[in-house]
């Protein structure tokens, strides 16, 4: 991709509607993030509206824990957001490297909650809070990113148009969604609080509160095992805070993120963490966790003594593993195999939209502008929508052949007809 005024573009991610790059902005020479509408989509089309919505949401936000929007670029052929670049990595990648220790989780949750206080005060609901949308900076800062599906009543017409284009629940990651977000389009700040609870539970327990196979089942949220049973040596007040965030009914959760900030702040004070940035630097860089000193003169607390012992043991264990793995490379994420020269082509469309999975691998979400190249042979194609039954098709691909699949998703939420 070529965009005037930028150089050294490096692709970071590909989303449903946009490509994300790291780039150097000229003539300033600063590193930025470019979120560009896919070239197969026109800037004046309805599919460009979510990117414009995101720019308007971010322009209303200004907080150290929220990514900063520098400007919006819109031409006849291009629509792009110029965003702040944070040198670090996502919470998802940090957790894949090692499990965070309790003080790190508290510090991370504290920073996320502070960001949510600001977001919600501006009348915005993030609606897609998850580990890959939380960046841990190498200098210890925490940033919430990707407001592409954020809900904001102040957007008026753009919000309504985007809903008609996308449909309820168009985007989002089911495992981190609140029950009400799975079931309807009507959510408020308590939905983000639920998502924060999922993030904290996963960070402390090393697993999600529900099985990924049940991620689309709103009823599964009623069967979450209490955190204190699955994560030993986590302070009971922290377990209770997380479980309150995960209450199935919004009315039973925290009504805002303010009390979460207060409670996590008190927990940091118990172990004398005045500046969470220093603690989070190790998590961001993949280093062994820092040993936390207990606050001088603080009330004796057996639970925190256990936390400190575990942190120390974790440091020793991590150092040992680092020595053993000194020459071992970090495994790369699983990816679809390279397409052989004898490939054929598959084109897919789905109404209103669907995730497309091929042979068990998630490929993209419709609309997909470019054809999908596949090896010769029989492939299973699955179309998924949170409010429709899965549609599965087997297709045979021959070298040089173009196969087209057009699917209409059938809602599984329609009322049943009464027997007569």
The helix/strand/coil state of 157 is: helix
Res 23: pLDDT: 95
The encoded tokens of residue 404 equal: 């087209």
Q: Which domains, from first to last, does the chain contain?
A: 6-84 (3.30.200.20), 88-289+304-323 (1.10.510.10), 344-408 (2.60.40)
Enumerate the active-site residues. 128
* Among 218, 214, 211, 149, CA closest to 178: 218
- In 183-294 the beta strands, taken as DSSP E runs, fall at none
So what's the pLDDT on residue 344? 81
Question: For the chain, which ranges sit under pLDDT 50?
Answer: 156-170, 294-311, 313-341, 414-420
At residue 64, the 3 state secondary structure works out as coil
Condensed to tens digits (0 to 9), the pLDDT of residues 246-299 reads 999 999 999 999 999 999 999 998 877 777 788 899 889 988 886 555 444 444
DSSP code per residue over 373-413: EE-SEEEEEEEEETTEEEEEEEEEE-TT-EEEEEEEPPBS-
Residue 154 CB neighbour total at 10 angstroms: 12
What pLDDT, on a 0 to 100 scale, did the predictor assign at position 413? 54
The residues that bridge with 215 in the sheet, in sequence order, are none
The pLDDT score that the predictor gives to residue 317 is 47
Q: In whole angstroms, what is the distance from residue 300 CA to residue 70 CA? A: 48
């Amino acid at each position: 991709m070529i965009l005037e005024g930028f150089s050294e573009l490096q692709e970071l991610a590909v989303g449903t509607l946009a490509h994300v790059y790291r780039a150097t902005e000229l003539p300033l020479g600063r590193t930025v993030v470019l979120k560009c509408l896919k070239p197969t989509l026109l800037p004046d089309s309805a599919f460009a509206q979510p990117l414009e919505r995101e720019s308007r949401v971010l322009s209303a936000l200004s907080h150290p824990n929220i990514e900063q929007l520098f400007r919006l670029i819109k031409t006849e052929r291009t629509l792009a957001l110029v965003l702040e670049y944070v040198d670090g990595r996502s919470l998802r990648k940090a957790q894949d490297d090692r499990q965070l220790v309790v003080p790190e989780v508290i510090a991370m949750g504290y920073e996320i909650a502070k960001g949510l206080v600001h977001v919600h005060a501006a009348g915005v609901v993030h609606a897609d809070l998850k580990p890959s949308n939380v960046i841990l900076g190498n200098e210890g800062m925490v940033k919430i990113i990707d407001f592409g599906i954020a809900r904001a009543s102040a957007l008026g017409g753009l919000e309504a148009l985007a809903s008609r284009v996308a449909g309820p629940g168009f985007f989002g990651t089911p495992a981190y969604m609140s029950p009400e977000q799975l079931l309807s389009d009507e959510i408020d700040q308590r939905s983000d609080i639920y998502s924060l609870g999922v993030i904290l539970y996963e960070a402390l327990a090393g697993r999600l509160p529900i099985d990924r196979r049940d991620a689309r089942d709103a009823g599964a949220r009623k069967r979450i095992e209490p955190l204190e049973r699955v994560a030993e040596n986590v302070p009971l007040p922290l377990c209770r805070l997380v479980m309150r965030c995960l209450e199935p009914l919004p009315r039973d959760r925290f009504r805002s993120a303010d009390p979460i900030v207060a409670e996590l702040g008190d927990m940091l004070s118990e172990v004398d963490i005045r500046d969470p940035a220093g603690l989070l630097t190790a998590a961001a860089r993949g280093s062994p966790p820092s040993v936390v000193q207990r606050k001088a003169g603080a009330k004796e607390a057996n639970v925190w003594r256990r936390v400190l012992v575990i942190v120390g043991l974790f440091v020793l264990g991590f150092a040992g593993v680092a020595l053993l793995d000194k020459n071992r490379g970090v495994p790369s994420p699983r990816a679809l195999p390279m397409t052989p020269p004898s490939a054929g082509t598959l084109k897919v469309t789905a109404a209103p939209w669907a995730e497309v999975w091929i042979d068990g691998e998630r490929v993209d979400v419709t609309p997909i502008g470019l054809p999908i190249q596949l090896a010769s042979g029989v492939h299973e194609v699955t179309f998924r929508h949170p409010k429709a039954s899965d549609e599965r098709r087997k297709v045979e691909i021959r070298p040089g052949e173009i196969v087209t699949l057009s699917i209409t998703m059938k809602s599984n939420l329609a009322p049943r007809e009464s027997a007569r």
